Structure 1
């Protein structure tokens, strides 16, 4: 060590041994208090709950669902298909109804248009419908293939 570096080391409080941990790595980080950790966990849980509610309610509104209820094979050229559709009250929906034979081939099809409906309770969004479908040959089942928003 030269004389000037010795004076600088003495002035800075360094004795010339090894540099201190603080000068090498910086000041130690402060720990988060237990109270702050609890508030952060509570905030994260509330945020997750709010997101779950938002996505659950958001997916239920405006969603169109359909369920097959039953069918009646009236004759070799006709079948009746009963189904349930859940939609918004003011929505106009179209559903594709198929009649299938024993090899799952489509022997009859019909597009049913379902207009706006009255109601105010969420349970009123679901309505039962029935449609007659003309067929090319005798069917063995009737199903709703899909429903979509016609607006």
Structure 2
């Protein structure tokens, strides 16, 4: 007794695997590889241009240098500001107590300056601000700085 059932015939292993999982993948040709490299280069150039333009648009930066508590009602805060020399900036400076509560706050204006003042051709200047406090401060920091007048 023989059966003519087609499912009973064995297929070669490579043919049955191709039916189950699909055929072999084609390798990327020379033209496809070249296009892939071009796209990668264009993406890299675009990313570098984006980095260059976003870092160039930062108009003002600041850095805390230190502070000195003169008494229970006053603190002196030293900080550095980097900006275009002809621009006017404002910086918010705050004094904090031991529980990090704000006990003093002042906005100070940093006006235009000559290129020979400060470092980097007048871009970076150092400032000291005496700040009145409600109670004894244990820290003084710059909270933020921004440009108010472009100066050109």
Residue 59 of structure 1 corresponds to: 54
Q: Alignment partner of 1:117: what SS?
A: coil
Partner in structure 1 of residue 32 of structure 2: 37
Of the structure 1 ranges 54-63 and 139-148, higher mean CA displacement relative to structure 2 is found in 54-63
Cα distance in 2 for partners of 1:40, 1:133 equals: 61
Aligned with 1:141 (options 130, 139, 142): 139
**CA RMSD, Structure 1 to Structure 2 (Å):** 2.5
Relative to 1, partners in 2 of residues 1:136 and 1:32: Cα closer, same or farther, differing over 3 Å? closer
User: After TM superposition, which residue ranges in structure 1, 4 or more long, deviate above 4 angstroms?
Assistant: none
By how many angstroms is 1:128 displaced?
Answer: 2.3
Structure 1 portions without partners, runs of 5+: 1-30
- Using the TM superposition, give the Cα deviation of residue 139 of structure 1 relative to its aligned residue in structure 2, in angstroms: 0.8
Deviation of 1:146 (Å): 1.1
What is the alpha-carbon distance in structure 2 between the residues aligned to residue 43 and residue 150 of structure 1?
Answer: 43
Matched residue count: 119
- The CA distance in 2 between the partners of 1:44 and 1:119, in whole Å, is 44
The answer on whether the counterparts of 1:67 and 1:144 sit within 8 Å (CA) in structure 2 is: yes
Q: 91, 102, 109: which one pairs with 1:106?
A: 102
Change (3 A) 1:59 1:106: same
TM-score scaled to structure 1, two decimals?
0.67
Cα deviation 1:91-148 (Å, max 9, x = unaligned):
221110001111212111111111233449x955333222111112211100111112
Q: How does 1:2-151 map to 2 (within 5 A)?
A: 33-34=29-30, 36-63=31-58, 64-119=60-115, 123-124=120-121, 125-151=123-149
State the Cα deviation string for residues 28-57 of structure 1 (Å, max 9, x = none): xxx9840x2243223222212222221222
Q: Which has the larger radius of gyration?
A: 1
**What residue ranges of structure 2 are gaps of 5+ in the alignment?**
1-26
Q: How far apart, CA to CA, are the structure 2 residues paired with 1:50 and 1:144?
A: 36
SS at match of 2:62: strand
Inter-CA distance 102–130: structure 2 relative to 1 (3 Å threshold): same
